[in-house]
A and B are shown apart, each in its own frame.
Chain A
Amino acid sequence: MTETCHSQWQYNFAFLDENTKRMLRRALLKAVAIPGYQVPFGSREMPLPYGWGTGGIQLTASIIGQDDVLKVIDQGADDTTNAVNIRRFFARVTSVATTSSTAAASLIQSRHRIPETPLRPGQIMVFQVPEPEALRTLEASEVETRKLHAHQEYGLMHVKLYEDIARFGHIATSYDYPVMVNQRYLSSPSPIPKFDNPKLHMSPALLLFGAGREKRLYAIPPHTRVESLAFEDHPFTVQRWEQACALCGSHDSYLDEIITDDAGARMFVCSDTDYCQQQQESKA
């Protein structure tokens, strides 16, 4: 009897039950109300592994509707294996339309990148976050880091950045570069390259961050100040390349380095595959 039952098992729209979605949306409202504050939430066990986007998937599942158009990217690309798998998961449990076009998407789930095409009002970006605590590498205990946030005590991070400058002459953090959200909470922008940090500042889109394994979510509401930490005499800078993209010729995008033969020959191409394609088409 159980076998008949189980073979006809039907999952709810977007996998999660409605009470769980409500719990998530309540937590998201709190996150939007306190930009950058990590809200603990009852993270569920998802059918994809922890560390592979379970936080982002839960946030997407809690806000996705029938009329949404979903884009999923990993490293800027729509066809990396995990992005494909997450997109297929939502296609299977929601049947909503999916797209690779940043402009056409209402909801974008991403790992490690913000698209090059500027986001517009009304769009929502969901970031997959492995470690939501920006101070974790400096203080292992969650009890302690929560106290540091409560007291807005961020000296540890400033000392770390200062030591980088003393040792290397500049800040030696290239991704997951700490930001101050709304002049109050030190936050992790997730492991995006620091190249993408300026896109967080005064973004017209709603930015949501989900860490499933760590059971935390946080938000940067539209038009919020987001400042990458720096010093007056050592201002924040982003990565630049001498090359342009070998496929579309763009000088302004984040480039991936690709090794093309055994002799170590390499080429540089856009990490954002949708942007690269738009650029190629506009030139053709």
Chain B
Amino acid sequence: MYVAVKGGETAIARSWDLLAAARRGDSALAELSLGQIRQQLRLAVARVMQEGSLYDEELAALALKQAAGDTVEAVFLLRAFRTTLPRFASSKPLDTAAMRVRRRVSGTFKDVPGGQILGPTADYTQRLLDFSLGDNSDVPPCALADSGVPQPLPSVLEVLAAEGLIEAEQPLPGDPEPADLTRQPLMFPADRATRLQNLARADEGWLLGLAYSTQRGYAESHPFAGEIRMGEVSVSVCPEELGFDIDIGEITLTECQMINQFAGSKTAPPQFTRGYGLSFGEAERKAMAMALVDRSLRAEELGEAAHAPAQQQEFVLYHSDNVEASGFVQHLKLPHYVDFQAELSLIRTLRAQATSSAVQEANHD
């Protein structure tokens, strides 16, 4: 006998208990501290801060712990917290030229003023599992460099800009305040600042796939990694009541300046163009993918044929947000009894019609 589905509340409460128990795992093992997550899973923390649009390592570590390491779920948790926070001020534009650089590489020149600085990167490791990490052995101390990195470190693209070979990067006339996509809906056509904001929050996997597609013939843009730099940048605000800038701290950023070919148009001579990527933390994959997609989305502005998915604003920007995408894909888990019932009776009607008309045709023959 059918029993009406009652007791949903109790079942939900029990699912919470099970989730908490599964998160903790074997209680004989020590519990992860937020400090450990911040220190030892720093790249996961950076990604959650970046896609969660909130620079707070402690909260990002908490979100990762609560989400049991599921990055997209952690981003979701952080965003749902961020949404309630009051806005005290907007920061002044960050000066990445003044970055205290820990890593800077260029793919366009063998040597650049200030040199290539490798920094803490896995790029030149052999990807062999390091079994010594499995037994908690101590890491030998890291020797300090003989000399520090020059501050400030000149930007590689300055060299090209001085010769006029690369487009100037100028703010729009009047330097309008950028939109805040967490407060205003995304509308089209979206200007570059709005697009970059969307891409900064975008899922790294989505950007990576799109960027890759531009390299494989869907919107070829002939990119070179002009400069990638990573390090610390000061954040300052100018409170209205004070009227002067104050530093409120520093954040770790990765910036990518991509250089792309441009054959020229009626109004512009042939020159290099730019794609730009910026991300919290050490996040070169994200910054580089973002720079490629930024450039491909400039197709219309530069008078190029926009035929590839990565060149279409609505396609790229409407589907970039992993919290939106994850929610909507997974909403299919919700009950759809009512709609399914409607479709069920429709398909029965259509099948009955198809069968009877097939019988009629057979008789006719």
Query: Could you list which residues of chain A lie within 8 angstroms of chain B, going by C-beta atoms?
Result: 2-3, 6, 11-12, 15-17, 40-47, 49-52, 54, 74-77, 79-85, 88, 111-113, 130, 140-143, 168-170, 172, 174-176, 191-195, 213, 215-216, 239, 246-247, 254-258, 260, 267, 269, 271, 273, 276
Cβ contact within 8 Å between B331 and A12: no
Interface bin, chain B: 35 or more
Q: How far is the CA of A191 from the CA of B341 in the complex (A)?
A: 12
**B320 shortest CB reach to chain A, Å:** 13
Name the CB-closest residue of A to B7: A79
Contact B324 A112 (CB under 8 A): no
Determine, out of B127-135, B180-188, B295-303, the stretch whose residues face the partner at the interface: B180-188
Contacts A52-B327, A193-B339, A213-B328 given; indicate if A45 touches B350 (C-beta within 8 A). no
In the complex, are the beta carbons of A44 and B83 less than 8 A apart?
A: yes
Instruction: Find chain A residues with CB under 8 A from B2 CB.
Output: 246, 258, 260, 267, 269
Q: Which of A140, A193, A213 contacts B338 (CB 8 A)?
A: A193
Pick the residue among A46, A79, A130, A269 that contacts B9 (CB under 8 A).
A79
Whether B326 contacts A142 by the Cβ 8 Å rule is no
Q: Knowing A51-B331, A143-B314, A215-B185, say if A191 contacts B9 (CB, 8 Å).
A: no
Q: Do the beta carbons of A11 and B84 come within 8 Å of each other?
A: yes
Q: Which residues of A contact B343 (CB under 8 A)?
A: 174-175
**With an 8 A cutoff between CB atoms, is B323 at the interface?**
yes
26 contacts between A and B (CB under 8 A): A16-B84, A40-B185, A40-B187, A42-B182, A42-B183, A44-B83, A49-B76, A52-B327, A54-B327, A81-B11, A130-B331, A142-B314, A143-B189, A143-B314, A169-B353, A172-B346, A174-B342, A174-B346, A175-B339, A215-B185, A215-B186, A239-B342, A254-B338, A260-B1, A269-B2, A276-B4
> Once the chains bind, are A80 and B76 in contact (CB under 8 Å)?
no
B23 at the interface (CB under 8 A from A): no
Given A11-B84, A42-B185, A193-B339, the answer on whether A77 and B344 have CB atoms closer than 8 Å is no
Determine how close the nearest CB of chain B comes to the CB of A213; give it in whole angstroms. Answer: 5
- On whether A49 and B327 interact (CB within 8 A), knowing A17-B84, A143-B314, A175-B338, the answer reads yes
Contact A213 B324 (CB under 8 A): yes
Cβ contacts under 8 Å, B189 to chain A? 143
Per-position binary interface string of chain B over residues 314-334, scored 1 when its CB falls under 8 Å from any chain A CB and 0 otherwise: 100010000110111111001
- Secondary structure type dominating chain A contacts: loop
Chain B contacts for A12, CB-based, 8 A: 84
Known: A51-B330, A130-B328. A168 touches B338 (CB 8 A): no
Selected from B327, B339, B341, the residue in CB contact (under 8 A) with A50 is B327
B338 lies within 8 A of A42 (CB): no
Contact A193 B86 (CB under 8 A): no
Residue in B12, B324, B334 whose Cβ sees the most chain A Cβ within 10 Å: B334
Question: Which residues 52-90 of B sit at the A interface, judged by CB distance below 8 A?
Answer: 58-59, 76, 79-80, 82-84, 86
Residues of B within 8 A of A84 (CB): 8-9, 12
User: Which residues on the A side are within 8 Å of B80 (C-beta)?
Assistant: 45-47
Tell me, in angstroms, the Cα distance from A225 to B358 when the chains sit together: 42
Select A256's contact among B314, B341, B349, beta carbons within 8 Å: B341
Query: How distant is the Cα of A174 from the Cα of B349 in the complex, in angstroms?
Result: 11
Q: Give the interface of B toward A (CB within 8 A).
A: 1-2, 4-9, 11-12, 58-59, 76, 79-80, 82-84, 86, 182-189, 314, 318, 323-324, 326-331, 334-339, 341-346, 349-350, 353
Give the residue of A40, A49, A74, A141 whose beta carbon is less than 8 angstroms from that of B314.
A141
Determine if A85 and B12 form an interchain contact, defined as CB atoms under 8 angstroms apart.
yes
Question: Judging by beta carbons under 8 Å apart, are B86 and A17 in contact?
Answer: yes
In the complex, A111 Cα to B338 Cα: how many Å?
10
How many whole Å from B234's CB to the nearest CB in chain A?
A: 21
Name the residue among A44, A195, A273 with the largest chain B CB count within 10 angstroms: A44
Per the bound structure, the CA–CA distance linking A84 and B349 in Å amounts to: 34
- When the two chains form the complex, which single residue of B188, B327, B335 contacts A213, counting CB atoms closer than 8 Å? B327
Per the bound structure, the CA–CA distance linking A42 and B186 in Å amounts to 9
- Chain B residues near A40 (CB, 8 Å)? 185, 187
A84 to B326 alpha-carbon distance, docked (Å): 21
Name A240's closest neighbour in chain B (CB-CB). Answer: B345
Instruction: List the 8 closest A-B pairs by CB distance, nearest first.
Output: A50-B327, A51-B331, A49-B327, A174-B342, A51-B328, A215-B185, A47-B80, A79-B8
Instruction: State whether B338 touches A75 (Cβ < 8 A).
Output: yes
Q: How far is the CA of A6 from the CA of B77 in the complex (A)?
A: 14
Q: Which of A43, A142, A174 has the most CB of B within 10 A?
A: A174
State how many angstroms separate the Cβ of A117 from the closest Cβ of chain B: 17
Alpha-carbon gap, A143 to B314, bound state (A):
9
Candidate in A45, A79, A140, A269 with the most chain B CB atoms within 10 angstroms = A45
Select A43's contact among B59, B84, B185, beta carbons within 8 Å. B185
Known contacts A75-B338, A175-B338; 17 further A-B pairs (Cβ under 8 A) = A45-B182, A47-B80, A51-B328, A75-B336, A84-B9, A140-B314, A143-B188, A168-B350, A172-B350, A174-B339, A191-B336, A192-B338, A247-B4, A256-B337, A258-B2, A269-B2, A271-B338
